Structure 1
Amino acid sequence: MKEKLEELKRHLAEVYDLENVTSLLYWDQSTYMPKGGAAARGRQLGTMEKLVHEKMTDLQIGRLLEELTPYGESLEYDSDEAALIRVTRRKYERAAKVPAAFMAEMSNHFADTYQVWTEARPADNFAKVEPFLEKTLDYSRRLAEYFPYNHIADPLIGYSDEGMTVSTLRPLFQDLREQLVPLVKAVTDRADVENTCLRQTFPEKEQWQFGMDVIRQLGYDFDRGRQDKTHHPFMTKFSLGDVRITTRVKENQLEEALLSTIHEAGHAMYEQGIQMELEGTPLASGTSSGVHESQSRLWENIVGRSRGFWEHFYPKLQEVFPEQLGAVSLDAFHRAVNKVEPSLIRTDADELTYNLHVMIRFDLELALLEGKMAVKDLPEAWRERYKADLGVFDPGDKNGVLQDVHWFAGTIGGSFQGYTLGNILSAQFYDAALRAHPEIPDQIRKGEFSTLHGWLKENLYRHGSKYTAMEITKRATGSPLTIQPYIAYLKNKFGELCGLNG
């Protein structure tokens, strides 16, 4: 069995390498690739996806899994070997249901659509990308049809958040919405928070360097990573020794680059924290999009927007921008960073309204997949929901349906739910860390993050994908997924900020 396990690892190492080469092509497309490379890049990505799929569904892997499964079940559940066998089997069985040619064709289409989107969005031209999106919807439905399901979105959700379905997410989101809406109203009914201090001119070079200094102090390892600019910030991994992030800088919007940089560094620190022994296997990655997002949101919001964080970093920021911030108090700056204001852009949204953005997208993509709405009607439906749910309106599409890359670089369905799951889990993980180390808030005030980072590495990061999202949540926090720590965190934070607690 040991020899067969080593043979399986050799096959999986080839899959792992091909997947990471594919990631490198995507990273280049989103950062430095010249416009003229778009057509060839789509073909290259299609070829790579086909190779990855063929390797992963190789009959040799299937044979080895059949022989190794009883052995894996005889081992301790927590062992790396048992986890490798059961996780690989799940991945193999899912991949085997979908033809390699279909995966290549779909990947090629996604690459083409992404390139059109990079031109359509700045031009505010939904019509340019509409036929591509119609094709994406067709591919998304066809992909789902390869699997049994209760709702057509379930297989797509399963790719990134295994175990989650529409039937579990709809009531969860409804419960969260019922808690959030009155809290948003209570906060926004209070005196408007001034945030003009964030809307001055802040040169890009200084913003960039400050963000780099911050994430280095948080624990992002630049010996195993780097940061570059892109249209839509993301994290990507080529190995556990090469985990990269991207950001974008707006000179008249100070928090954009900094919080985006912290957000992506949160994703990257998760990947950098995976134990090296898992390299080259399906275990060497975060376990789900929701758990992954919990780390970006934990570092960006719970830490990066906290009073303690700015007690340490604000004097340093004032030194970088003395003319812009020298006369702005810490209290005023902290309130500005946490201003609650319904807005058009998801990635710019405050903590309270953010999940409403996600729920709008989740509902719209379900309507598309169910056939209740046509792609051509999506922009207007988007505007109507934003006006109804957030009270904001924009007649264009650049800041509407074209704002997020997800539907223009992947399937319609399966991505957005992870953001809200991540928000919920971020508070649950942080609450568990505080129970273990009550001194963490005081350490944050001093610019010390090693205790929090260390707890996360020990209880979450090092395990990679050994455990499902629900398993790792229960192991790390002592309870299954629950919205209670998240709601308590929001009520306490904004209650203090806005004087609601008295």
Structure 2
Amino acid sequence: MTARQAYDSLVAHGRESADIGAALGLLSWDQQVMLPAAAHPGRAAQIGALTAILHRRATDPRVGDWLAACEGSELAREPGSPEAANIREWRRDFDLAVKIPEDLAVALARAASAGQRAWELARKDNDFKAFSPHLQELLELSRRKAEAIGYAGEAYDALLDGYEPGETAASLAPILAELRDATKALLTAVKDAPAPKPLPAGPYPLTAQQAFVTDITRLLGLPPEASRLDVSAHPFSTLIGPDDARITVRYDEADWTKALFGAVHETGHALYSLGHDTGDARHGTPMGEFASLGVHESQSRLWENQVARSLPFWEHVLPLAAARFPELAARTPEELFAAVGAIRPGLIRVDADETTYNPHIVLRFELELALVRGDLAVADLPGAWNEKSREILGLAAPRDAEGCLQDVHWSMGAFGYFPTYSLGNVYAACLFEAARAALPDLDTAMAGGDFRPLLAWLRANIHEKGRLLRPRDLITAATGKAPTAGPLIRHLQAKAQAVYGL
């Protein structure tokens, strides 16, 4: 077998696996959006069955043979070529997959499916004890996964690497500490400043909110013929397959901005997904996949914060909002900008303003690190959450539904996921700073409702790169500088100065 024949076999195998994965993704989307309550146990079995099939394909010995035929060939000779990147990333995926026993992969998938449903009910009923057995099982399975993969530092690193290749708990801690300290300084700076004028009180009809967020997703470039917008208990975005991006939000009649920023956030994810999986020869290959969850999050946070919380955005969007919500007709773009940019510490991560968001991640990072290490028992999580919350946020949750039950991630066994949100914030600020330098008229374009230049820049520098580069290298290539927290801290300081007149 020639290297080219082996490579073509890898492409064909990858495409078939991607199509099976699309069916699995559709089952998961349906579970969170459409599934009847009684069907959840059956759905867990279906997800488990498809996971087993995908795991067998991922660990097929032929994959190892095909890779061996490609490695060292002319296809892998140029490190910056798409073929070399595919071969490198296929090797990473294969080596990881063969370390995880099939029964463990299936057990994790089934436990995550059951855990998500248990979490939905527990959150609704404020019943942590009902969810804790599921969390205990998922934690134990995740530890087994980490041991199967192996690690140089600690078990958490093996789990984190699955979401953000190359990162470790030790590499993340200084970044999170810098962001936490910068937040404390900003909170102190604005403590005695007059608060911006709040938005008018609701209710805001759900039909008007639904129409408005649909308008905004299309304005930002999400194609209606290749996407859906639905409702779920926890907003999310998923790419089912080429030209099939699904996003969800949740609505609050008292606050239309929750659905707006949720929709913009998930639209950022969907635009990235549609930009790297273009349905061409990349489908089913690493070049048609996202670089990491931190990079994925950079796209959602950039659109949510640097764009949708900016003054140019509101200069164009306020008339659209006032047409749906007459209460806003007397407001100015500057007032909307200040209202959505205000610093208001709160308990709920997904509702946090961009300044106080990162301490929410510090809280979760420290708790899940303790859980994985065995320093914190599942039964003690609610109390530990409130203790950390008082220390980091200055607040304690009156109910577990607003505390340790507020996020879906641990119910999916996604230990190591949370830090990618703060990495995403850091990457987003780095990218937007570079985009502004490359596009001098960007603010004018956004104020005129034209977001195409920004999307085109992101497409060329991030979306179309797939897994060509590792996350930090990708950001460096796009911006010309290694990523640091500096651009994000400067952005937050400038926002505080503009909103509070510091």
AA at the equivalent of 1:306: S
Q: Which residue of 2 aligns with 1:438?
A: 440
Gaps of 5+ in 1: none
Change (3 A) 1:346 1:74: closer
Q: Which residue of 1 aligns with 2:310?
A: 306
CA contact (8 A) 2:234 2:249 kept: yes
SS where residue 281 of structure 2 aligns? helix
| Partners of 1:72 and 1:39 in 2: CA distance | 49
Instruction: For 1:296, give the aligned amino acid.
Output: S
**Alpha-carbon separation, structure 1, partners of 2:192 and 2:400:** 29
Residues in 1 aligned to 2:224 and 2:47: alpha-carbon distance in whole angstroms: 28
Determine helix, strand or coil for the equivalent of 1:236.
strand
SS of residue matched to 1:279: coil
Displacement after TM superposition at 1:74 (Å): 4.4
Partner residue of 2:161 out of 153, 158, 165: 158
Q: Match of 1:368?
A: 371
Superposition map of 1:13-52 within 5 A: 13-52=15-54
- How far 1:408 sits from its partner (Å)? 0.6
Aligned positions of 1:96-245 closer than 5 A? 96-149=98-151, 150-197=153-200, 199-245=201-247
CA distance in 2, matches of 1:222, 1:251: 25
Measure the CA separation in 2 of the matches of 1:439 and 1:361: 39
CA contact (8 A) 2:85 2:286 kept: no
**Offset at 1:230?**
0.6
* Counterpart Cα distance in 2 of 1:341 and 1:328: 20
Contact residue 54 and residue 100 of structure 1 kept, 8 A? yes
What does 1:350-429 align with in structure 2 at a 5 Å threshold?
350-411=353-414, 413-429=415-431
Distance 1:485 1:125 in 2: 41
Q: Say if 2:268 is the partner of 1:280.
A: no
- Identity, in percent, stands at 36
1:315 partner letter? P
Which of the residues 476, 480, 489 maps onto 2:491?
489
In the alignment, what sits opposite 1:315?
Answer: 319
1:480 to 475, 479, 482: 482
Deviations 1:328-357 (A, max 9, x none): 333332221112111010000001100000
In structure 2, give the amino acid aligned to 1:267. Answer: H
Amino acid at match of 2:479: T
In 1, are the aligned partners of 2:364 and 2:418 still within 8 Å (CA)?
yes
- Aligned partners of 1:72 and 1:82 also within 8 Å: no
Residue pair 2:226, 2:245 contacting (<8 A) in 1 also: yes
Distance (Å, rounded) in 2 between the aligned partners of 1:241 and 1:329: 37
Alpha-carbon spacing, 1:497–1:72, altered in 2? closer, same or farther (3 Å): farther
Is 2:75–2:83's contact at 8 Å kept on the other side of the alignment?
no
Q: Retained in 2: the 8 A contact 1:49–1:107?
A: yes
Seen in structure 2, the aligned counterparts of structure 1 residues 72 and 44 have a Cα distance that, compared at 3 Å, is: farther
Aligned to 2:465: 463
| Deviation readout 1:20-51 (Å, 9 max, x if unpaired) | 11111100000000001100111111111111
The residue identity in structure 1 corresponding to 2:137 is K
| 452-461 vs 187-196, which moves further | 187-196
Whether contact under 8 Å (2:179, 2:359) holds in the other structure is no
Rounded to whole Å, the distance in 2 between the matches of 1:269 and 1:249 is 22
Residues 1:291 and 2:295 aligned together: yes
Offset of residue 306 of structure 1 = 0.4
- Any conservation in 2 of the 1:287–1:465 contact (CA below 8 Å)? yes
- CA offsets per residue over residues 210-249 of structure 1, 9 Å max, x none? 1111111111111111111111011111112111111111
Structure 1 stretch 206-215 or stretch 156-165: which is displaced more? Answer: 206-215
1:176 CA drift (Å): 2.1
Contact 1:120/1:126 (<8 A) preserved = yes
The Cα of 1:195 is off from its aligned counterpart by 2.0
Q: Does residue 80 of the first structure (1) align with residue 108 of the second (2)?
A: no
- Paired residues, what number? 497
Q: 1:415: how far off?
A: 0.5
**Larger CA deviation: 171-180 vs 146-155:** 171-180
Q: Distance in 2 between matches of 1:228 and 1:35?
A: 18
Q: Which whole-Å CA distance do the structure 2 matches of 1:151 and 1:72 have between them?
A: 37
Cα distance in 1 for residues equivalent to 2:269 and 2:393: 28
Secondary structure at 1:226 match in 2: strand
Of 238, 258, 261, the residue aligned with 1:259 is 261
CA distance in 2, matches of 1:327, 1:312: 15
How far residue 282 of structure 1 moved from its aligned partner, in angstroms, is 3.0
Q: Is the 8 A contact 1:72 1:86 kept in 2?
A: no
Question: Structure 1 residues 179-188 or 469-478, which shifts more?
Answer: 179-188
Counterpart-to-counterpart distance in 2, 1:277 and 1:302: 33
What is the rounded CA distance, in whole Å, between the counterparts of 1:46 and 1:98 in structure 2? 15
C-alpha contact 2:230 2:247 (8 A) present in aligned 1: yes
Residue ranges of structure 2 left out of the alignment (5+ in a row): none
Query: How far off its partner does 1:75 sit?
Result: 3.1
Is the Cα contact below 8 Å between 2:247 and 2:266 reproduced in 1?
yes
Secondary structure in structure 2 of the residue aligned to 1:401: coil
Amino acid across the alignment from 2:342:
K
Give the SS at the match of 1:402.
coil
What amino acid maps onto 1:369 in structure 2?
V
Separation in 1, partners of 2:88, 2:273 = 21
Would you say the 8 A contact 1:16–1:282 is kept in 2?
Answer: no
**Structure 2 SS opposite 1:403:** coil
The range that moved more, 167-176 or 265-274, is 167-176
Q: How many angstroms apart in 2 are the aligned matches of 1:447 and 1:329?
A: 17
Contact 2:342 2:499 in 1 (8 A): no
Q: Give the one of 237, 247, 271 matched to 2:249.
A: 247
- Answer yes or no: is the 8 Å Cα contact 1:72–1:81 preserved in 2: no
Tell me how far apart the structure 1 counterparts of residues 147 and 76 of structure 2 sit (CA, whole Å): 34
